[in-house]
Structure 1
Amino acid sequence: MLLTFLYSCTGGAALLYVLYRWLIPAAVQYHGGLALIWHEVIVEPMLDTLTQSTRPQRLLSAVQKNATRGDPCSVVKAIDQFCRSKEWAMNVGDEKGCILDSVVSELNPTTVLELGTYCGYSTVRIANLLPPHAKLITLEFNPDFAAIARQVIAWSGLEEKVQLVEGASGDLIPKIKQDFGVQTFDLVFLDHWKDRYLPDTKLMEACGLLRKGSILLADNVICPGTPDYLEYVRSSPRYESQYFKSHLEYTKVEDGLEKSVFLG
């Protein structure tokens, strides 16, 4: 009787592990809503409780364990490996990251604004491609995320190129010219709260932070999606917009980046 009970428990535990580790993650790979619920609503809180840490803290540990200090490419690789083999996280990711890299390399900007730092993944990708003396300002609302991002950026050796500012984008954008001495931005990367994409874009316009030729590059425009922002940049005569089809980070769900050139 006892052996039967033990076998049942062992078999049940094995089944749960297989479901958790392989079957459910494979099933949600193709459905954006289910993927976000599984990774952010179920898995992340569960692991936070079990490990008494947060996902950003675990991501930082992976960087410190697997990346070479002062090597930005190894930092990016360590985060991608962590997110593909350990825990999913909403970075721009490796696939869309290549699109981001190509836009940065082609533009060769000297002034960049990033809205939404999270753990610093895209910050490192962008800063690593910037020319000497370029300035990257990245805004992060969550102080816990900002604390991790500072350590990730420092580990990559790019802290001198990056100015990370904590606070709400709606409060900080009007102060940028006065507080940071930047008149306009060559590139703006939008990757924060999706419902802030459109109001922050209009706020940047009103504050004169965009010049003719400034580029807005927006992530997650399909999943979770930013329909009001897409309608605006695609229909406004002030923008010339192009969609780069890709996938939601570390999944097979369609997502993409919207590149919009400000025409003045």
Structure 2
Amino acid sequence: MQSSHVSLVNYVLQRSQPGNVQHVIDTIDRFGWTQQWLMNIGDRKGQILDDAIRTRRPKTVLELGTFLGYSSLRMASQLPDDAFIISIERNRQSAEIAHTIHKHAGVEKRIQLIVGSTESVIPRLSEKYHINAFDFIFIDHDGSAYLDDLKLLEKYGLIQSGTMIVADNVIYPGAPDYLHYIRNNPKYKTRLYESTLEYNDNVRDGVEISVRR
């Protein structure tokens, strides 16, 4: 386990209030700004994610890339208890840390963590969880995989009319093939929300929000 991950867990467990989701989120943000950089969506772009969640008010959410559980905390904080969040994470240690943080925040029963690659998990989602399509999808893992995963979600019918898709880091590190596809596809209405890289004032970044027509 990376030392930065251990440091974050200790920082969160020691300095945030158990069961207080917003306080846990704020504590992670404070760590990212003052202790060590983290590659989650962060507080500034996190507001864009919050606004999107409130606009769509989804009952079913899919997250590609859990990392240490920050963005799923943000989504859970904006949703009622009956909303179902599935988060896929390739790295088992990251998923275990995310679960620890989710449990500390009191939302672990609302977020279903799946350890595995997106290409192996996505084809099984509909049958396993009896979901026809997701209301909301958040993509925040490897930018080179964004487009392949989007097409896989389309192939298995998990994106339907009204599905909102939020993709982080589309400018930095970037996901050019994803942006080219979704911006030139008449099946989607899409918009870029510009910001800066998480916990950084100097690197331009943005979040692409798309809705299936």
TM-score range normalised by the length of the shorter chain: over 0.9
Question: Higher relative contact order at CA 8 Å, sep ≥6: structure 1 or structure 2?
Answer: 2
Query: How far 1:233 sits from its partner (Å)?
Result: 0.5
2:84 is equivalent to residue 157 of structure 1: no
Higher Cα Rg, which structure: 1
Letter of the structure 2 residue corresponding to residue 120 of structure 1: G
Query: How far 1:58 sits from its partner (Å)?
Result: 1.1
Q: 1:117 aligns with which of 50, 53, 66?
A: 66
How do residues 228-243 of structure 1 correspond to structure 2 at under 5 angstroms?
A: 228-243=177-192
Task: State the partner residue of 1:180.
Answer: 129
SS in 2 for 1:154: helix
Q: 1:204 aligns with which of 135, 141, 153?
A: 153
2:202 is equivalent to residue 258 of structure 1: no
Task: State the partner residue of 1:133.
Answer: 82
Task: State the partner residue of 2:48.
Answer: 99
Query: How far 1:54 sits from its partner (Å)?
Result: 2.2
**Distance of 2:18 and 2:140 partners within structure 1:** 26
Task: State the partner residue of 2:144.
Answer: 195
Q: TM-score, normalised by structure 1?
A: 0.79
The root-mean-square deviation of aligned C-alpha atoms, in Å, is 1.0
2:172 is equivalent to residue 223 of structure 1: yes
Q: Percent identity?
A: 40
2:53 is equivalent to residue 85 of structure 1: no
How do residues 6-21 of structure 1 correspond to structure 2 at under 5 angstroms?
A: none
SS in 1 for 2:18: coil
**What are the Cα deviations for residues 175-218 of structure 1, in whole angstroms up to 9, with x where unaligned?**
00111221110000000111110000000000000110101100
Query: How far 1:239 sits from its partner (Å)?
Result: 0.8
**Distance of 1:185 and 1:157 partners within structure 2:** 24
Query: How far 1:132 sits from its partner (Å)?
Result: 2.7
Q: Any runs of at least 4 consecutive aligned residues in structure 1 with deviations exceeding 2 A, and if so which?
A: none
Q: TM-score, normalised by structure 2?
A: 0.97
Letter of the structure 1 residue corresponding to residue 188 of structure 2: Y
- Aligned positions, number: 212
2:11 is equivalent to residue 62 of structure 1: yes
**Distance of 1:230 and 1:115 partners within structure 2:** 17
**Distance of 2:196 and 2:131 partners within structure 1:** 33
**Distance of 2:98 and 2:23 partners within structure 1:** 16
**Distance of 1:222 and 1:235 partners within structure 2:** 17
**Any conservation in 2 of the 1:112–1:188 contact (CA below 8 Å)?**
yes
**Distance of 1:117 and 1:132 partners within structure 2:** 19
**Distance of 1:92 and 1:201 partners within structure 2:** 19
**Any conservation in 2 of the 1:104–1:129 contact (CA below 8 Å)?**
yes
**Distance of 2:81 and 2:89 partners within structure 1:** 24
Letter of the structure 2 residue corresponding to residue 143 of structure 1: R
**Distance of 1:80 and 1:132 partners within structure 2:** 24
- Ranges in structure 2 where 5+ consecutive residues have no aligned partner: none
Tell me which protein shows more helix as a share of its residues. Answer: 1
- Ranges in structure 1 where 5+ consecutive residues have no aligned partner: 1-47
